[in-house]
Structure 1
Amino acid sequence: MADLPLRPELVGEEPYGAPQLDVPHRLNVNENPYPPGPAVLADVARAVSEAGAGLNRYPDREAWELRADLARYLGHGLGPENVWAANGSNEVMTHLLQAFGGPGRSVLSFTPGYSMYPEYARNTHTAYLTAPRRADFTLDAATVERAVAEHRPDVVLITTPNNPTGTSTPLDVVEAALRAADGLVVVDEAYQEFARDGTPSALTLLTDHPRLVVSRTMSKAFALAGGRLGYLAAAPAVVDACRIVRLPYHLSAVTQAVARVALAHAEEMLAQVDALRRERDALVGWLAGRGLEVAESDANFVLFGRFADRHAVWQGLLARGVLIRETGPDGWLRVSAGTPAEMAAFRAALTEVAAEQTLPGWRPPAPHDPGEPT
């Protein structure tokens, strides 16, 4: 690229992406490990075939029927005019910053946070500002209010449950952000379906707050990562702003058809969420029992540490066929909740790595205890 007239801020940058490696146990990108069942797949095949008959025509560029289905799924009195859908939550966030960020404007996020946020900002020429979370990775109203008062951002971005920590943010903190901010407040709820019972959604605040946006995805709980469908709920004026900046026909007819089938089968598609919650909670307990620090999680992953050389631990797990994510604050690693077999493989591999590397503070599992590797 040295001879190309590349934008200066892109010089030396690498494309985003977690490692995609062919290993027995992939627990690094928070996918739902349970694929759609036969009934869903049959309906997907039928819907794709029907969409295929019209592939010579452009798709519905407003995705109106899909947005109506998404509104019904979300409830809270929402209609299709309150919902916007795009090619994954990545494109949803990009549309928001194209419309409400841009040159001379800023977005404020709270770290540690999702590693794509600064890239959304960079790609839309929006200044990326951050404020630190508390030591336990939580957010409180005072922290948010101070950060907003200091930076006066055009967009405030709160992730709950947070990636990579799994931490939820109470609604009073979101309300504090709405009171303090002059611009948009975006609540990224990509992992909301995995939250523990009683964890409220910012969707309950939408009616009274026209500058609030709640972003979701079908990639995680719906096991539709390959379908690439993200969406937001907001006031119709916010949706209309996204319509201005979207590219024409940004959602293919096939994508719309597959997403609508998944929503029609929502109960079945979400059937494994409770199982993944149980695996997550068991994993938190097991890791804490080994003497590790573990972040409290409402997502389908767990952040744990701390390691003097986290890369060595990551590499040791990979050598045993277990791929997790080297992300978050220094010394921490993140593992996705998987099937019971995948979790057993992770526990066994980490136990071997800990013995091999003599990890400080590690407490070996008692042999033959229930749930322990044997």
Structure 2
Amino acid sequence: MTIAARPWLDEIQAYRPGTRSASVDGSMASNESPLGASPTLGESIARALTGVHCYPDPLADELRGELARLHGVHPDQILIGNGSDELIFLLSTTFLAQGGHAVCADPAYQIDKIGALSVNATITQVPLRQWKHDLSAMAAIQAEVAYVVNPHNPTGTTRTRADIEAFTAASPAHLVVVDEAYIDFAPDPEALTAIPLVAGGRVAVLRTFSKIHGLAGLRIGYLVADAAIIAAIRKVRAPFSVGTLAQAAARAALADTGHRDAVREHTLRLRGQLVDLLASHGLHAVESSANFILVPVLDEDAFVTDLRTHGVSVRPGSALGAPGTVRISVPSEAGLELLRSALNHAYPATHRETSDHR
């Protein structure tokens, strides 16, 4: 290569996605919905196919309108992105580029960290306290942007809306970005969401269609924020970043509330069974409000390898900034049985682990 990358990119460790197993049911490394997308999507996408020779609606106005009604905000307070990850990069470009400072948890959601470093910003990571965001310590950091992932990835833990409101008041950060990718799996999503705090102008909320709606392969998410924040980000956003088919699928997914409710019910029920199964093998998970759990283990590499040998893939914690743990997505019914069999073969119930707490 005759051209050199910008020197600050040397600080970035490339994102490492989860590994798939030989079967869909055994793939528990990427927090994908085991129930898939709404069955109504096929018809909606088929209708949209007739228009794929044209550029998509640049701002996804119809979808923005539906989301605005859902969340009780103005459409100008919503920006649709090519997954919430694109929106994180856009936030970095708009508010952190060339010398900005961000603060987040340690471990961080990896894209928050990569996005900041990619624009030559500084990022300060504050260690979790008892597996949760240490908001008091984060509030002591001077920064333009503070990231609060709630529920947190990779732990699944949460802080209350009151906690985030108090943090916003105490923090010198100009903008608090609350990533709610997994909020639909919390016990009471409406009580937890920070969207009511957006009206104050210093809070922005990220959501995704990848998890509860099962649209990870179509890449669509959105940001809810003050209209001035949205307008600033639009200046650097690619005009057609969200395709026609993704927009049609997202509208259909919103309309199918029955499927969304079924995914939520399945996730909460299987999450409890997953926790119990692991506990029977002496593995004690961090309390989670997401569609995954984090489990401290004595030998992370051996645990991941042993399960893979028996047809189950899980995410090594070291890839997520949490060495000594594994992250396991809530599986399908068949997947839970695969995991049960894998544990029985590779990790007998007579073996006992001890978990540490951060």
Q: How many aligned positions are there?
A: 347
Query: Is the Cα–Cα contact under 8 Å of residues 144 and 176 in structure 1 kept in the other structure?
Result: no
Q: 1:113 to 1:285 in 2, by over 3 A?
A: farther
Q: 1:79 to 1:299 in 2, by over 3 A?
A: same
Query: Is the Cα–Cα contact under 8 Å of residues 28 and 335 in structure 1 kept in the other structure?
Result: yes
Inter-partner Cα distance in structure 2 for 1:42 and 1:276: 26
- Name the structure 2 match of 1:284: 275
Q: Which amino acid aligns with 1:49?
A: L
Q: 1:93 to 1:12 in 2, by over 3 A?
A: closer
Q: 1:254 to 1:361 in 2, by over 3 A?
A: closer
1:48-84 Cα distance to aligned partner (Å, 9 max, x none): 22322xx2x33222221121122223x2x21211111
Q: 1:115 to 1:276 in 2, by over 3 A?
A: same
- Name the structure 2 match of 1:346: 339
1:151-184 Cα distance to aligned partner (Å, 9 max, x none): 2010010011100000011122211221123300
Question: Which of 58, 62, 69 is 1:61 aligned to?
Answer: 58
Q: How does 1:1-374 map to 2 (within 5 A)?
A: 1=1, 3-11=2-10, 15-24=14-23, 25-46=26-47, 48-52=48-52, 55=53, 57-73=54-70, 75=71, 77-134=72-129, 136-139=130-133, 143-149=134-140, 151-182=141-172, 183-197=174-188, 199-207=191-199, 209-307=200-298, 309-327=299-317, 328=320, 329-355=322-348, 359-361=351-353
Inter-partner Cα distance in structure 1 for 2:109 and 2:309: 27
1:26-47 Cα distance to aligned partner (Å, 9 max, x none): 010000011234433222222x
- Name the structure 2 match of 1:365: none
Q: Which amino acid aligns with 1:138?
A: K
Query: Is the Cα–Cα contact under 8 Å of residues 222 and 262 in structure 1 kept in the other structure?
Result: yes
Inter-partner Cα distance in structure 1 for 2:197 and 2:82: 25
Inter-partner Cα distance in structure 1 for 2:211 and 2:117: 25
Q: What SS does structure 2 have at the residue aligned with 1:293?
A: coil
Q: Which amino acid aligns with 2:33?
A: N
Q: What SS does structure 1 have at the residue aligned with 2:146?
A: strand
Structure 1 unaligned regions, length at least 5: 363-374
Q: CA deviation at 1:187?
A: 0.5
Structure 2 unaligned regions, length at least 5: none
Q: Which amino acid aligns with 1:32?
A: S
1:269-289 Cα distance to aligned partner (Å, 9 max, x none): 442211111101221233233
1:79-99 Cα distance to aligned partner (Å, 9 max, x none): 211111100010111111111
Q: CA deviation at 1:122?
A: 1.4
Q: Which amino acid aligns with 1:8?
A: P
Query: Is the Cα–Cα contact under 8 Å of residues 148 and 180 in structure 1 kept in the other structure?
Result: yes
Q: What SS does structure 2 have at the residue aligned with 1:125?
A: coil
Structure 1 or 2, whichever has the larger Rg, is: 1
Q: CA deviation at 1:121?
A: 0.9
Inter-partner Cα distance in structure 1 for 2:186 and 2:334: 23
Q: CA deviation at 1:359?
A: 4.5
Q: TM-score, normalised by structure 1?
A: 0.87
Query: Is the Cα–Cα contact under 8 Å of residues 316 and 326 in structure 2 kept in the other structure?
Result: yes
Inter-partner Cα distance in structure 2 for 1:20 and 1:72: 38
Q: 1:14 to 1:159 in 2, by over 3 A?
A: closer
Overall identity of the aligned pairs, in %: 33
Inter-partner Cα distance in structure 1 for 2:117 and 2:10: 12
Q: TM-score, normalised by structure 2?
A: 0.90
* CA RMSD between the two structures: 2.1
Q: What SS does structure 2 have at the residue aligned with 1:274?
A: helix
Inter-partner Cα distance in structure 2 for 1:202 and 1:343: 33
Deviates more, 1:169-178 or 1:27-36: 169-178
Inter-partner Cα distance in structure 1 for 2:41 and 2:260: 8
Q: CA deviation at 1:15?
A: 3.7
